[in-house]
């Protein structure tokens, strides 16, 4: 009994040290309670209230904000730096990789509110990262605590977005290489793709799936027939297809769907069959808690690459032309 107790105490200490170490690595740059320390209290609550209002009035908005957060963090001089909000020719938003990204106006209107509350203080980059995490909780996923203090970039490049935003046809090698620079483990990388439990895709991103002799099997033939029917009449690319069978709920349905050959994109099917990721897919399909835990730690890492301190600025307007 005594030796069990000693073992438990030792194991608990190892977990505590690991948690402290990983949290302080993030805290060296970003901080929990950052705006409180600057004397601007209630930022997180106010952002949550405002984005939730948009999520209630537009059921597609929360998925849009989660994707926006990934695309902002993936491209730009500082990672999560608000660079996606600088629009115009040759800028990130004009990249094909950002096709379908929308509702940037939500970030803009939260920013206007923040300027009333605490002028020149709250960055666009932080608002985007918060809107993404609030999208997860709003739809029933984990309530993720993220440190704040990101600064905004003043440049934005379509060429960089073209090369860094992974296409729907990405291989598992590409998936792992996208997330490795953020320090994500393979488990956390597979969990990030679980964001496709929300939202939709367009026919132009599943062209390779529509051919009956497509090499991207395994695939449910019935599902492929449904996709072909949905995309058969698709004027102006308005047809949309749900990413999983419960597009408005953040749950582990996505993993069960891809195991059954019902992943929307080639990349979704790829992670369900590759020997490096298939066991993780099986685990998340069976255990939603494991998916939530890996998504939570993965999201904190994904949003931790940022400009901080004297790097970057706090822009007064998020959406620039």
| Options 190, 192, 239, 314; binder of ligand HEM; rule CB under 6 A | 192
Question: What is the torsional sign of CA 79, 85, 91, 92?
Answer: positive
Task: For residue 71, indicate whether it is catalytic.
Answer: yes
CA 148/CA 167 separation, integer angstroms: 29
Q: Which is nearer to ligand HEM, 67 or 151 (CB)?
A: 67
3-state secondary structure 106-167: HHHHHHHHHHHHCCCCCCHHHHHHHHHHHHHHHCCCCCCCCCECCEECCCCCHHHHHHHCCC
DSSP per residue over 14-71, as a string?
A: HHHHHHHHHHHHHHTTSBTTHHHHTT-TTHHHHHHHHHHHHHHH-TTHHHHHHHHHHH
- Residue 58 vs 154, nearer CB to ligand HEM: 58
26-34, 75-83, 187-195, 273-281 -> range binding ligand HEM (CB under 6 A): 187-195
Torsion of CA 227, 162, 109, 112, to 10 degrees: 170
154 marked among binding-site residues: no
From the candidates 46, 67, 71, 305, which is the catalytic residue? Answer: 71
State which of positions 203-242 bind ligand HEM (CB under 6 A): 205
CB nearer to ligand HEM: give 186 or 199: 199
Say whether 72 counts as a known binding-site residue: yes
* Block residue for tokens 């985007």: 128
Please identify, using beta-carbon distances, which residue of 64 and 153 lies nearer to ligand HEM.
Answer: 64
- Nearest residue (CB) to ligand HEM, 90 versus 167: 167
**CA-to-CA separations, 88 to 14, 71, 78, 91, 153, in angstroms, rounded:** 50, 16, 19, 6, 15
Quick note: the x/- pattern for ligand HEM over 32-71, rule CB under 6 A, is ----------------------------x--xx-xx--x-
Beta bridge partners, 151, equal 307
Structure tokens, 264: 């929307």
| Total of chain residues touching ligand HEM, rule CB under 6 A | 27
Sole binder of ligand HEM in the list 80, 158, 195, 306 (CB under 6 A) = 195
Find the part of the chain contacting ligand HEM (CB under 6 A) among 108-116, 188-196, 216-224, 248-256: 188-196
291 touching ligand HEM, by CB under 6 A? no
Residue 83 assigned as binding residue = yes
Q: Which of 153, 131, 136, 108 is nearest to 43 (CA)?
A: 131
Positions marked active-site: 71
Contacts with ligand HEM, residue ranges (CB under 6 A): 60, 63-64, 66-67, 70, 99-100, 166-168, 170, 175, 178, 192-193, 195-196, 198-202, 205, 243, 265, 267
């Amino acid at each position: 009994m005594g030796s069990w107790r000693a073992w438990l105490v030792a194991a608990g200490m190892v977990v505590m040290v690991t948690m402290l170490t990983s949290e302080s690595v993030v805290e060296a740059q970003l901080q929990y309670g950052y705006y409180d320390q600057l004397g601007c209290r209630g930022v997180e609550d106010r952002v949550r209230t405002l984005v939730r209002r948009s999520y209630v009035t537009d059921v597609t908005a929360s998925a849009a904000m989660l994707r926006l957060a990934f695309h902002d963090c993936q491209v730009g001089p500082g990672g999560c730096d608000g660079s996606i909000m600088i629009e115009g020719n040759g800028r990130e938003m004009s990249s094909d990789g950002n096709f379908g990204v929308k509702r940037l106006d939500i970030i803009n209107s939260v920013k206007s509110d923040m300027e009333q509350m605490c002028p020149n203080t709250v960055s666009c980059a932080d608002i985007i990262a918060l809107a993404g995490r609030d999208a997860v909780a709003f739809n029933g996923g984990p309530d993720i605590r993220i440190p704040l203090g990101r600064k905004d970039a003043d440049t934005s490049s379509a060429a960089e977005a073209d090369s860094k935003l992974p296409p729907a046809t990405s291989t598992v090698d590409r998936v792992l290489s996208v997330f490795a620079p953020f320090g994500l483990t393979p488990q956390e990388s597979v969990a990030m793709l679980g964001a496709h439990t929300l939202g939709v895709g367009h026919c132009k991103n599943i062209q390779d799936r529509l051919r009956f002799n497509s090499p991207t099997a395994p695939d449910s033939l019935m599902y492929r027939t449904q996709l072909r029917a949905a995309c058969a009449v698709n004027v102006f690319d308005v047809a949309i297809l749900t990413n999983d069978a419960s597009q408005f709920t953040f749950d582990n349905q996505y993993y069960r769907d891809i195991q059954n050959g019902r992943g929307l994109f080639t990349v979704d099917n790829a992670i369900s069959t590759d020997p490096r990721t298939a066991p993780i897919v099986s685990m998340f399909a069976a255990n939603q808690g494991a998916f939530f835990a890996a998504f939570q730690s993965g999201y904190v890492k994904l949003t931790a690459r940022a400009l901080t301190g004297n790097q970057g600025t706090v822009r007064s307007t998020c959406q620039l032309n």
